[in-house]
Amino acid sequence: MKNEYSFIAFFEYADDGISISFPDFPGCFSSAPADDVETAIRNAREALGLHLFGMEQDGEIIPEPTFAFRINRGSNTVPVLIDVFMPVIRATVKTSYVKKTVSLPAWLAAAADQRKVNCSKVFQEALVSYMNL
């Protein structure tokens, strides 16, 4: 696994914003058109990073980037080099949170609320301690 990747993204300009695609990864797109170039670059980095992370997790071979001059594009499309730093992506994905529902006796929940206890934090600390992590 490499720590840095750079691939060409296509920014396609239309009335509803900038759509992003990656010629080296046909299934990699941003979720919605961006309103400006800064947002498009952020969205492209996120889409590429998550796509590459998924490929790493699935054990897929990540291809070498195609040179921009070898890629056909439309008239309202601009190639943009997008780079991602994978350690940040990996850490972000691995520390994402999931919601768990727990049941507490009503008196305990009320006491925690009264003392403004951050139950999520307490549960996390308790699980880490309980599992010796």
Which residue ranges make up each domain of the chain? 4-94, 98-133
Determine the Cα–Cα distance for residues 59 and 27; give it in Å rounded to an integer: 17
| Mean of pLDDT over the chain | 90
Cα–Cα distance for residue pair 114/42, rounded to 1 Å: 41
Q: Which amino acid is at 96?
A: S
Contacts of 17 (CB under 8 A, 6+ apart): 32, 33, 34, 35
Q: Does domain 4-94 sit in CATH 3.40.50.720?
A: no
Above 90 in pLDDT, residue 40?
Answer: yes
What mean pLDDT is predicted for residues 71-94?
Answer: 88
DSSP-assigned states of every residue in 54-77: HHHHTTPPPPPPPPGGGS---TTE
* Confidence label for 124 from pLDDT (cuts 50, 70 and 90): confident
pTM metric for this prediction: 0.69
pLDDT at 132 over 90: no
